[in-house]
Amino acid sequence: MFIHGEWLSADSGEVFQSTNPATGKVLGQVASGSRSDTRKAIDSAAEAFSVWSKLTVYERAEFLYRAHSLMMAEQDSLAVVMTEEQGKPLAASRNEVKYAADFLLWFAEEAKRIYGRTIPSARTDQRFFAIQQPVGVVGAITPWNYPISMITRKVAPALAAGCTIVLKPAEFTPLCAKAVFEIFAKAGFPPGVANLVTAADPEPVGAELLSDSRVRKLTFTGSTEVGRMLSQEAGKRLKRVSLELGGHAPFIVCPDADPVHAAKGLTLVKFLNTGQACISPNRIFVHSDIAEPFLQELTARVKALKAGSGFEPGVKIGPLVSKGELEKNENQVQDAVEKGARLLAGGCRLMEDGLENGYFFAPTIIRDVTPSMLIYRQETFGPIAPVIIYDDSDDVLSMANDTDYGLAAYVYTKELKTAFRFFENLNFGIIGINDINPTSAAAPFGGMKDSGLGREGATEGILEYLETKLGGFSV
């Protein structure tokens, strides 16, 4: 663990292992922290806050600039750690490191745009001034699917705002988190500004972050189930929260769309990170007029996807993160087929060509999916493309919105009028119109309904870590 600028063992001396999901090989071990370790990290963050928050925004930005430069200089080595521990292809890992570094650079600049304002008063002898100040110590919990960029997406705005932070990474990817905090250490962040508590059991760490009154904000990326629990507990203490949770993204192919272009786009975004992304399309709605050419192109592309170790050339499909996720994917396919869906590609665990020790699931297409099937309602987090064929554009809008989630949605159309209609009426926080990558450090990221609270990235991202203070002056 990294607490008050030092690498420490857990108070208990306990450790846990990190393994490669492609091979089952043990990669290393890290400290398994507890409530006492978390309390120690909060002590450090609280002490550092009084100094860090008083630095000028230009001084804080310099630390983030250094961290950005160091991360880009070590892009290749960080990518190797990520591919080993999380499983994604090496090229995708390199892209993620660049994306992670973008947040450090963006918020180094955004720190300088923490503006106040003057407000006119009805009284001639009164002046109002509003300023923005950091909320205080932040508790952060990050996921395994994007194990480096999700750290900087929280740490960078928090530190830019003047907060200090205690971060608990996912149990599946502690080595990625350790590598990131080694960057922070090299960048020279003062002791206590950024603290890392790794833990095999997340509950004691989360409980301490929730119960300690010095932690004024909790930011979490993960499942809706856990996010709802954290929000409830934080609400009892009036602790601020921001939550980036699950998704069940619709991918709508309109009758005027180019079916080949749409199938290419779907293949790229659906099977990115082996489908283990909260913005991954989970329900593919294709108009009946172009369903057959779309499915023909999609099937050909999906069957050509190569699964294997992320270090092998040409590999596009890595392992799922765990046995539990593998079984979930198997169960969804089996349920759909038993209820009448047709399997066009994949549909099973991959056990040949040296893949038997990993959690590999074949890239899969199932068509004729209906609302009675698990996959229609349940987030997949895997390489399965469920296709629903529709006839009416009003119906497809209703079907796309028929979910408790509201993170991302995608639409393929050539008509500007259609594009705006879907953009304005889809109940999702992020809409890609003929665009499979509607994300950037400069763009707000977040969802509606059960997909979360608040936004990350952009101007909105730093506001999550600031309080507004009003001054009324009688003159």
Per-residue model confidence (pLDDT) at position 432 = 98
Per-residue model confidence (pLDDT) at position 430 = 98
b/e per residue, 36-60, with b = 16+ CB within 10 A? ebbbbbbbbbbebbeebbeeebeeb
Class of CATH domain 249-433: alpha beta
pLDDT of 63 higher than 90:
yes
pLDDT of 390 higher than 90:
yes
Per-residue model confidence (pLDDT) at position 308 = 96
Per-residue model confidence (pLDDT) at position 8 = 98
Residue 244 is among the residues annotated as catalytic for this protein = yes
**% pLDDT > 70, the chain:** 100
Per-residue model confidence (pLDDT) at position 7 = 98
Q: Do residues 365 and 251 lie in contact, with contact meaning Cβ atoms separated by under 8 Å? A: no
Per-residue model confidence (pLDDT) at position 393 = 86
Where are the chain's structural domains?
A: 2-245+449-474, 249-433
Query: Comparing C-alpha atoms, which of 118, 144, 115, 120 is closest to residue 129?
Result: 118
Per-residue model confidence (pLDDT) at position 352 = 92
Name the active-site residue from 110, 254, 278, 325: 278
Q: How much is the mean pLDDT over the chain?
A: 97
- pLDDT band of 110, cuts 50, 70, 90: very high
- pLDDT band of 301, cuts 50, 70, 90: very high
- pLDDT band of 133, cuts 50, 70, 90: very high
- pLDDT band of 313, cuts 50, 70, 90: very high
Please, which residues bridge with residue 410 across strands? 251, 432
CA distance 419 to 421: 5
Residue-wise pLDDT tens digits, 328-371 = 999 999 999 999 999 999 999 999 989 999 999 999 999 999 99
Shared fold status for 2-245+449-474 and 249-433: no
Query: pTM above 0.85?
Result: yes
Per-residue model confidence (pLDDT) at position 202 = 96
HEC string of the chain equals CEECCEECCCCCCCEEEEECCCCCCEEEEEECCCHHHHHHHHHHHHHHHHHHCCCCHHHHHHHHHHHHHHHHHCHHHHHHHHHHHCCCCHHHHHHHHHHHHHHHHHHHHHHHHCCCEEECCCCCCEEEEEEEEECCEEEEECCCCCCCHHHHHHHHHHHHHCCEEEEECCCCCHHHHHHHHHHHHHHCCCCCCEEECCCCCHHHHHHHHHHCCCEEEEEEECCHHHHHHHHHHHHHCCCEEEEECCCCEEEEECCCCCHHHHHHHHHHHHCHHHHCCCCCEEEEEEECCCHHHHHHHHHHHHHCCEECCCCCCCEEECCCCCHHHHHHHHHHHHHHHHCCCEEEECCCECCCCCCCCCCCECCEEEECCCCCCHHHHCCCCCCEEEEEEECCHHHHHHHHHCCCCCCEEEEECCCHHHHHHHHHHCCCCEEEECCCCCCCCCCCECCCHHHEECCECHHHHHHCCEEEEEEEEEC
CA distances in angstroms from 85 to 18, 28, 141, 145, 312, listed in the order given: 7, 10, 18, 10, 15
Structurally, at CATH architecture level, domain 2-245+449-474 sits in 3-Layer(aba) Sandwich (3.40)
Q: What angle do CA 240, 244, 245 make, to 5 degrees?
A: 120
Per-residue model confidence (pLDDT) at position 180 = 98
pLDDT of 471 higher than 90:
yes
Residue 47 is among the residues annotated as catalytic for this protein = no
Name the active-site residue from 84, 110, 244, 464: 244
